[in-house]
Amino acid sequence: MLLYFCTHHKELAQKIYALSLHEKKHFPFAISVLHLLKIAIDLIKGRRFNKYINENHSVMSTMQIVQADICREFLKLWTSKSYMELDFHHTIESYNFEIVKKESYAKKLLLSDIQQSAQRGQSPISQQGRSPASPSSSHQTTLKNRNLFK
């Protein structure tokens, strides 16, 4: 997921990486992105995005959007306050609590993707193209037919 994030969200990854190297606001880049991925996984496990997973027929694409949104919000939070490396652990814990409470941009983005693809008569997967980490189309069909996520 870290590789996917760095290759598919280059601008965001570069901003977070540059901030991680900042003289006073530095923090461990890889660890921070992995912590944010854990938050995304917890949100997915908590069934907060089941509607979007069912409509997208893909857990991976939904999780990738959620992770990118969480990273974007973390970047805003870290730059807006005068946090330092020692504040990282506390900030991640409090951020985890805040992100669960608020309506995220990811839900709005997922909903707009689903609505646009429904208007075109396409599934969101065929519109975006398969990511290298997503299962094959035959596997996706199998998952869709089994209704595993409902």
User: Percent of the chain scored above 70 by pLDDT?
Assistant: 51
How confident is the model over 33-46, as a mean pLDDT?
82
How confident is the model over 117-136, as a mean pLDDT?
51
Domain of 54, in residue numbers: 2-146
Q: How far apart are CA 20 and CA 30, in angstroms?
A: 9
Q: Is the model's pLDDT at 105 over the cut of 70?
A: no
pTM confidence score: 0.59
Q: Residue length, the chain?
A: 150
* Helix 59-80 / helix 29-45 crossing angle, nearest 10 deg: 130
How confident is the model over 33-62, as a mean pLDDT?
82
Say what the pLDDT of residue 10 is. 87
Say what the pLDDT of residue 86 is. 60
Chain Cα centroid distance, residue 108: 13
- What does the block give as tokens for 138? 């035959």
Count the domains in the chain: 1
Say what the pLDDT of residue 137 is. 42
User: Cα Rg for the chain, rounded, in angstroms?
Assistant: 16
